[in-house]
Amino acid sequence: MFVRCVWGLFLSRRVASVASKSPCQRFIRVSSTDAYMMPSDGADHGARVHNNIIQSESDKNLYRGLELSNGMKVLLISDPSTDKSAAALNVQVGYMSDPWELPGLAHFCEHMLFLGTEKYPSENEYHKYLCQHAGSSNAFTASDHTCYYFDVAPENLEPALDRFAAFFVCPLFNEDATDREVNAIHSEHIKNMQNDSWRLKQLEASTADPKHDFSKFGSGNKTTLDAIPKSKGLMVRDELLSFIHSGTLRTSCHLSCLAKSRSMT
């Protein structure tokens, strides 16, 4: 039972055309049982299956690795004793991938992804669903990767994954939410300015080679995400769409998923 939703939500060559007209319809097939069936070893379903995951003798969990046709690598974990299911998606793109003219874009993208998708347009749908089912979520943007994660009651994993997957396939990036999230980013920046660890981090960046990506200002603020783009005639929403639909994002994702299932079949 466990692998049905992960298989159906994340295995697809269809993700390669994420920027086309109706990406959600091709990528997420929650109404089709066949879309969730796990292939047997050696089956030609456009993915490689790995059942020989190395684990300690005291580890009683079941594991399965997948290399999907869209380039994503997946680790599935089955733990019948867990009281929470969980998933984490690590994208190997962080603030060092920001365009030089838009410092903080990766961090801004992290914020905006949570604010509605084509399939679930309500801004609060994801958080509301998790809160209603004993769950929580968060995300962070680092220099070379961004991580999104959540936990939820085991019986609600599949609907939660459905909402989660839509972030990376058909985000709305509503313009009316842009100003609000820029203000949220700016407030986070003001808070960070009082934190010594953040100060040291920025000092390292500021003293690095200014031509190297490490020198970029990763968190962003109202100046870098609003004032400067407007002065240059840049549309931040268009830049966000280009960023999320880039080939790098589509092929550099790693997913881990934990469920209460007693088997991998």
Give, in order, the Cα–Cα distances in Å from 181 to each of 108, 124, 186, 230: 8, 14, 8, 16
Residue written as token pair 């990528």: 27
Cα separation, 263 vs 29, whole angstroms: 23
To the nearest 10 degrees (0 to 180), the angle between helices 105-113 and 236-244 is 80
Residue 38 CB contacts under 8 Å (≥ 6 apart), including other chains: 3, 4, 7, 264, 265
Burial (CB < 10 A; 0-12, 13-18, 19+), residue 215, is: middle
Token representation of residue 95: 């603030």
Beta strand 136-141 pairing with 85-91: unpaired
Q: Are strands 136-141 and 146-152 parallel, antiparallel or unpaired?
A: antiparallel
Looking at the annotation, which residues are catalytic?
110
**Cα dist. 127→55, 87, 130, 221, 254 in Å?**
33, 15, 5, 24, 22
CA geometry: angle at 127 spanning 112 and 242, to 5°?
A: 20
CB atoms within 10 A of CB 243: 21
> 22 — alpha (psi -120 to 50), left (phi > 0) or beta?
beta
